[in-house]
Structures are given as structure tokens and as C-alpha cells.
Amino acid sequence: MASSTQPADVIALSKLTCLLLPKEHTNLLESKSIWSADETHEKFSLAERILHLDPVEVNIFQGITLPDAPKFGKVFGGQFIGQALAAASKTVDCLKIVHSLHAYFLLIGDFNMPITYQVHRVRDGKSFATRRVEAIQNGNVVFTLLASFQKEEGGFNHQVAEMPSVPNPEELLSMEELRERRIIDPRLPRTYRNKVASREYVPWPIEIRFCEHNTSTNQTKSPPSLRYWFRAKGKLSDDQALHRCVAAYTSDLIFLQVSLNPHREKGLKSASVSLDHSMWFHRPFRADDWVLYVINSPSAHGARGFVSGQMFTRNGELIVSLTQEGLLRRARSPVSAAKPKL
């Protein structure tokens, strides 16, 4: 220290001790990460509570499907991605943050049963770390994820992708308002309106605002594209790892459905499930601030639909790129696709 001076914050001082914290480690002074929190609290947003995991032993965590979490007759795919990414993140040096993930959905998950997440520490490098996670129910691997983490690093910077011009979220209707309007909209078929009114409505932990005001229903054909704003309801803890898990959770809520848009018709009952899911996180963001999700489906063929997406902050920064392939079939009656097959 006598020969060189370094920028540092003084965090403790006594007659004998002066503890210096170099600038690159000042994140250690940030608010407590949820990854070290031992219990869920009521004040946490529902999204954060859904992603909460209990540590079982080294590299093993347990998640459950909360009664008020979206289910769709099975464990929601986004819940697997978000919880598995949370499990992986808990085993990585907190200075390293996820930059990409690749996942496969192997079996329908049973929401009445806890999910065990087994993390394999594939590699810990100086800048990068890699993790493989298996989600297990009844002794079967139902879902698997590979994720890569990186220490923050400066470098070349460009962004060609432009955020489309869309209305601000404040000018758009919430899902709840949209539902109310649809129930009374005389332009929509009565059968559809009755179905919307009678279907049990469980609010999602994520607020969604569709950018295009349209009157299309699940019975009307529309182009294979969609744009909507989303944000977690309530405030999330200040942990970038959590914000990425919440974006991962949300990304599967309305994604694959876009590849069905051109094929919708009266009476269509589909059996569609996500098969795989990939994400690249380009820049930091908050998932409790509005994020624009731009979705396109370039192809559907051979009972598989392909969708790609981009997420932007309100300022137009490209924060996430993602892709998914899913099974797209007409439902066989009686519909049995949602039956857990463990």
C-alpha cells in the first residue's frame, strides 16, 4: 500500500484496524441477496415466492407449486425454467451472473408434488461458470437445464435490433380490464364470451399489457406475431439474478401460442407444450419495471412450432433474446395431454 494508491471505500475503522474494500467488490455491500435468504416472506411479490427454493443439501434444492401460482393443468414450463435457474444461481459465485441457458421439457410435471433440483457444477472458471440442473419428480428427470454464468466484463458494444414503436403500457388495458371488456363485447361470438366469463380466473403474478388492441379470439386466425409489455406484480428484491429468473419464468407464459395464431379456427382444441427453451441475457434490467416482449413465429411444421423473441427495456435496450420449439397438435378427445405421466 505504501508504494501504490487504490480507490477504495473505508467500511470499518478502529485504532488498530482499517478495513479497505476495493471498488470492484463494493457489490458485497449491496442489500442481502435472496439467494441467501432462508425463508419466504409474505411481503415478497408472488413471482419471488414462486421461485423460492428450500436448500436440501449441497447442490440439491426443493421447489413447490404454490396454490396461487399459474398451473395450466400441469407444472407451468416457466416455473421449471425459473426455479432451475434459481437453483443453479445459488451454487455460483455471486459476482457471476447468468448470460445464457438452454432447457428441455422431458415429462409433464405434477403440481401436487414437490420438485427436486439437483445441480451439477460442470465447471468453475475465472470468468465463466457452467451448471447443469435436473428437475426430478418420482425419481424421473422431468426437466433439464444448462446455464452459463459470467463475471461482469467491459467490451465491444453495439445493438442493431430496434425496439418497435408501440404504445406506452400506461395507455393499454390490463388483462383484467381486457377480460371484462371481452365478456361484454357484442362483436365477439356469444359462445366465446360465455366461455371467458365461466372460466375460473386466477390472476397471474405478472402484469401483462398487449400492445395491439385486437378482437381476435382463440377461434380466429391472426398473424404469427405478438407484442406485449410485462412486469412482475409488486417489488422484487434488488438481485440481478432474481430479475433474470423472473424474466425466464415470464418468457414461457405467452410464447408458443403465437405459432398457433395462423391456424386458429372455430372448435380448434390444441395440445401444445413447450419442448425446449433457450435464452441469452445481453444487458442488466429489472423485471419489476416494464419490459417489452416482441414475439414472432417464423415456422410451424411437423407438429412443431418455432418461436423467437426479443425483450427490450422502456429505453429500447435489447436485454434478452430467446427461442423455443414446442409440440403443436390437435388435441385428441378426451383431452389427456395434461395428465401427469410419471
Ligand X SMILES: CCCCC/C=C\C/C=C\C/C=C\C/C=C\CCCC(=O)SCCNC(=O)CCNC(=O)[C@H](O)C(C)(C)COP(=O)(O)OP(=O)(O)OC[C@H]1O[C@@H](n2cnc3c(N)ncnc32)[C@H](O)[C@@H]1OP(=O)(O)O
Contacting positions for ligand X (CB under 6 A): 72, 74, 76-77, 105-109, 175, 178-179, 182, 196, 252-254, 257, 271, 273-275, 327, 329, 331-332, 335-337, 339, 341
Q: Nearer Cβ to ligand X, position 21 or 183?
A: 183
* 115-124 vs 206-210, strand pairing mode: unpaired
53-60 long-range contacts (CB < 8 A, ≥24 apart) are 53/83, 53/86, 53/87, 53/90, 53/117, 55/90, 56/116, 59/91, 59/118, 59/119, 59/120, 59/121, 60/116, 60/117, 60/118, 60/119
**Of residues 76, 75, 83, the one with CA closest to residue 118:** 83
The DSSP code sequence of 277-290 is EEEEE-S---TTS-
Least distance between ligand X and beta carbon 324 (Å): 10
The answer to whether 159 is a known catalytic residue is no
Give, in degrees to the nearest 5, the angle at Cα 152 between 123 and 102: 50
Catalytic site includes residue 278 = no
Question: Minimal distance in Å, beta carbon 119 to ligand X?
Answer: 20
For the CB of residue 246, give the shortest distance to ligand X in the complex, in Å. Answer: 16
Question: Which lies closer to ligand X via its Cβ, residue 66 or residue 273?
Answer: 273
Residue 120 or 332 with smaller CB distance to ligand X: 332
Burial of 198 (0-12, 13-18, 19+ CB in 10 A): exposed
**Residues 274, 288, 297, 310: which is the catalytic one?**
274
Q: How near is the Cβ of 30 to ligand X at its closest, in Å?
A: 33
Q: How far is the CB of 9 from ligand X (least distance, A)?
A: 45
Active site residue 14: no
Which of 94, 271 has the CB closer to ligand X? 271
Closest residue to ligand X, based on beta-carbon distance: 77
Question: Which of these is catalytic: 110, 252, 257, 270?
Answer: 252
DSSP annotation of 236 reads P
Nearer to ligand X, 25 or 269 (CB): 269
Q: How many residues does the chain have?
A: 342
Structural contact between residues 284 and 311, judged by C-beta atoms closer than 8 angstroms? no
Q: Mind telling me the catalytic residues? A: 252, 274, 324
